[in-house]
Structure 1
Amino acid sequence: MKSASNTTNNALPEFPPNDLTAGIDWARDDHAACIVDGRGRKIATTTVEHTSAGLRELLTFLGRHGVSEVAIERPDGPVIDTLLAAGLVVVVVSPNQVKNLRGRYGSAGNKDDRFDAYVLADTLRTDRARLRPLVPDRDDTVALRRACRARKDLVKHRVAAANQLRAHLRNVLPAAVGLFKDLDSAISLAFLARFDTQDKVDWLSPKRLGEWLSKQGYSGKVDPAVLHQRILSAPRGATGVHGTVQAVITASYVALLHTLVQQTRTLEKQIDRQLDAHADAHIFTSLPRSGRVRAARLLAEIGDCRARFPTPESLTCLAGAAPSTRQSGKLRAVGFRWACDKQLRDAVIDFAADTRLANPWAADYYDRARTRGHDHAHAVRILARAWLHIIWHCWQDDLAYDPARHRALQRFLASQTGAA
């Protein structure tokens, strides 16, 4: 893999072909398109439906006017696939940028698809020096990204469902809350499926609980007598007819959690297979505490297009790990970077925070940030920025992370050895 110095220059030409640019305002059901000339004058506008016929009509509209460059607000989806397959140059302008750019044209701030299409087209005409054409990742990277994001959504739903079940149990069966480590674990769900009312829980004794746990293959280290004491210490739940009615709600939550847990595992197996087949897997799986899912998330969110990030700083800024500096006159403020790729930032922060447990250099880097007065979140972002520089070099040079070649780590280890 070529290093950054040999990366293809991913820039737009000084002037658009045929002196024409187009903007497309993407929507769920239809899309507004506008074409402007070199002076910013509207040449043509149209609206097409979000159907196969509508997308073909869009290509015909652009081709008829000789347009080869298009600005749009999102980097993926059927519209993007259609434009790229037709050989058009696609430039992504984020929705936040479009919102800020409306004021340039005297808009009152109201959202109008046709006006936004014009704003996109004219921005592509006037701001070419700072815009870059979209270079899509390979299909296997896109598929891995979608699988990782789908798993993240399922985990989010699982946590929400577990919280709802916990709140429900606090009212009708408090003994089941905190009995095992995780409420959505296999043993917890099995317990709730078998002992869903206070009357059934009352039947248990230490011996009966131990026998039931043995049949379930319970591998926990907590003695059944201790677990039974937790049941006795908890407030009593609903009994009789009321308890039986409430058990129906409990069963609904348990069934939902079973499904979410199973589907999450199914996706994790799929992610594992996709990761094994990816050409960049060796880079991300070599990172400390990366595991499989975490490595897949990092790979998927960073992507495989090296030209997208010509410098480490470009990667750290998009990941939200670099501070945002605002300066006016003598006033200079450094703050949190809100404008970033939220999915990428989440993946990077999750990785960096956990490396403190496996990498002594990372632990020291984080500790020194905390010593300087930064809170946990800020310290993790500082550590994430340092890791992203390392990841960028490994990624650009197609090399796995090697602790022996990590000079900062080796210097820290040597200093610790000398101090000892």
Structure 2
Amino acid sequence: MRRENLIYCGIDWAEKTHDVALVDDTGQLLAKRHITDDASGYKILVDLLAEYGDTEENPIPVAIETSRGLLVAVLRTGKRQVFAINPMAAARYRDRHSVSRKKSDPGDALVLANILRTDMHAHRPLPNDSDLAQAVAVLARAQQDATWNRQQIANQLRSLLREYYPSALAAADGWKNGLCRPEVREVLRSAPPPTRAARLTRTQLQAALKRAGRQRGVEAEAERLRDVFRADWAHQPLPVENALGKQMLALLIQLEAACTAADDLAEAVEEAFPQHPDAETILSFPGLGVQLGARVLAEIGDDRNRFADARGLKAYAGSSPITRASGKKSSITRRWVKNDRLNHVGYLWAFSAITASPGAKAHYRHRRDEHSDWHAAAQRNLFNRMIGQLYHCLQHRKLFDENTAFPVHVAVAA
């Protein structure tokens, strides 16, 4: 049939089945279906949309409460706009149609369709990123999650070692990345309780370091470890110490798996990210390497129409302040609703840029000295400025230029 009126689709998704509702621009329910989460269910959905006038040139917009999965991938084919509605926002809209606050899947599908009918202009469709950008996003986010997971397990291991094995913490303090170092993990595997570590010989310690991949300074490092383990330390009762050693080995297995996953995903990011056309522009900015640059691309994408201007990107990243006014009172605070992943990247980016860019360092010092900003506030202001510059460079296909980015601060620093 021909689409004489505007049609809107809402999908309440679940693990095994989905509820679909179609409404016209007057709010009349045109059709509803209950489909399965498989290829046959997706075909029923596509045929239903086609029956009500969905074409490649004029597709029916769809509202759904998720931004990932096979169903979303099927819907995003072509030029169709897919809106990922926050479940909390959908719950507020539900109150407009029912006061009982009872939830039903068919009713939620109808609510989602009506959200597009009434307020489609107030919601952002999923960006039209390229396949390569989406692949980089998957790898970069997975590597970021693996890094966080590795640190979480390392913190658990550190907490456990403080209870019965302080000599291991003292030994790890001599190395960068501490407990995540392969040398530390290999030594802990060789001697789970500290009493056994105190009996390790120089030869055994050297063999453990070599198994971990150490090639230089093996003898000196083995001597240092031997002195640390044989120093005077407090001990738990022997049965308790042995039990804690077994618990430590279980955590050590998890830590090794997390370290391996983070390293493997980092290699995958290093292979995929440089292939993207925006990689050259992103990597031209001081403080951005392959891993951080890939995370930036993962969150902002390569759809040039995603953000109307640089202010929109800054608000999305949570770097720009927000003004709240009520009556005669107003306050300027940092944003709490933001993209947490991009905001975390911004903290690391600004921290690295301070040492990599004279202009960035001068800007940071200016915020600290002239505006009396705290360290975090000065870094956030620097990130706010640099992400605006990144937006400009990506839009105009330009590389970062120090003199253009910080003309005044560079001159003062010189």
Give the structure-1-normalised TM-score: 0.85
Stretch moving more, 326-335 or 228-237:
228-237
Unaligned runs of 5+ residues in structure 2 are 55-59
* 1:52 paired residue number: 39
Within 5 Å, which residues of 2 pair with 1:167-186?
Answer: 167-181=159-173, 182-186=178-182
The structure showing larger relative contact order (alpha-carbon pairs under 8 Å, at least 6 residues apart) is 1
Partner Cα distance (1:28, 1:48) in 2: 11
Which of residues 204, 214, 217 is equivalent to 2:215?
Answer: 217
2:359 and 2:413 in contact (8 A); partners too: no
2:362 and 2:413 in contact (8 A); partners too: no
Change (3 A) 1:87 1:355: closer
C-alpha RMSD over aligned residues: 2.9
Q: Specify the code of the residue in structure 2 equivalent to 1:63.
A: A
Q: Specify the code of the residue in structure 2 equivalent to 1:129.
A: H
Within 5 Å, which residues of 2 pair with 1:154-233?
Answer: 154-181=146-173, 182-204=178-200, 213=209, 216-217=214-215, 226-233=224-231
Map Cα deviations across residues 219-278 of structure 1 (whole Å, 9 max, x no partner).
Answer: 599865554443344624457565445433332222222222122111111110001211
1:199 and 1:239 in contact (8 A); partners too: no
* 2:383 paired residue number: 384
* C-alpha displacement of 1:326: 2.4
> Are 2:279 and 1:281 aligned?
yes
* 2:107 paired residue number: 115
Which of residues 404, 411, 414 is equivalent to 1:414?
Answer: 411
1:148 and 1:296 in contact (8 A); partners too: yes
* C-alpha displacement of 1:414: 1.3
Partner Cα distance (1:23, 1:159) in 2: 40
Which of residues 354, 358, 361 is equivalent to 1:360?
Answer: 358
SS at structure 2 position matched to 1:399: coil
* C-alpha displacement of 1:294: 0.8
Change (3 A) 1:272 1:180: same
* 2:347 paired residue number: 349
2:11 and 2:62 in contact (8 A); partners too: yes
Map Cα deviations across residues 4-51 of structure 1 (whole Å, 9 max, x no partner).
Answer: xxxxxxxxxxxx973221111232222222222222222222222222
Stretch moving more, 360-369 or 76-85:
360-369
SS at structure 1 position matched to 2:170: coil
Q: Specify the code of the residue in structure 1 equivalent to 2:400.
A: Y
Percent identity over the alignment?
Answer: 27
Which of residues 66, 70, 79 is equivalent to 2:71?
Answer: 79
Give the structure-2-normalised TM-score: 0.86
Q: Specify the code of the residue in structure 2 equivalent to 1:166.
A: R
* 1:301 paired residue number: 299
SS at structure 2 position matched to 1:43: strand
The size of the alignment, in residue pairs, is 400
Unaligned runs of 5+ residues in structure 1 are 1-15
Map Cα deviations across residues 147-178 of structure 1 (whole Å, 9 max, x no partner).
Answer: 11111221222122212222222233221123
Q: Specify the code of the residue in structure 2 equivalent to 1:41.
A: Q
Within 5 Å, which residues of 2 pair with 1:118-129?
Answer: 118-129=110-121
* C-alpha displacement of 1:344: 2.4
Q: Specify the code of the residue in structure 2 equivalent to 1:42.
A: L
* 1:69 paired residue number: 61
Q: Specify the code of the residue in structure 1 equivalent to 2:20.
A: A
Change (3 A) 1:294 1:20: same
Change (3 A) 1:240 1:91: closer
Q: Specify the code of the residue in structure 2 equivalent to 1:381.
A: R
2:171 and 2:225 in contact (8 A); partners too: yes
1:195 and 1:201 in contact (8 A); partners too: yes
2:187 and 2:205 in contact (8 A); partners too: no
SS at structure 2 position matched to 1:357: helix
Change (3 A) 1:264 1:223: closer
Map Cα deviations across residues 40-72 of structure 1 (whole Å, 9 max, x no partner).
Answer: 222222222222211212222222233512122
Q: Specify the code of the residue in structure 2 equivalent to 1:168.
A: L
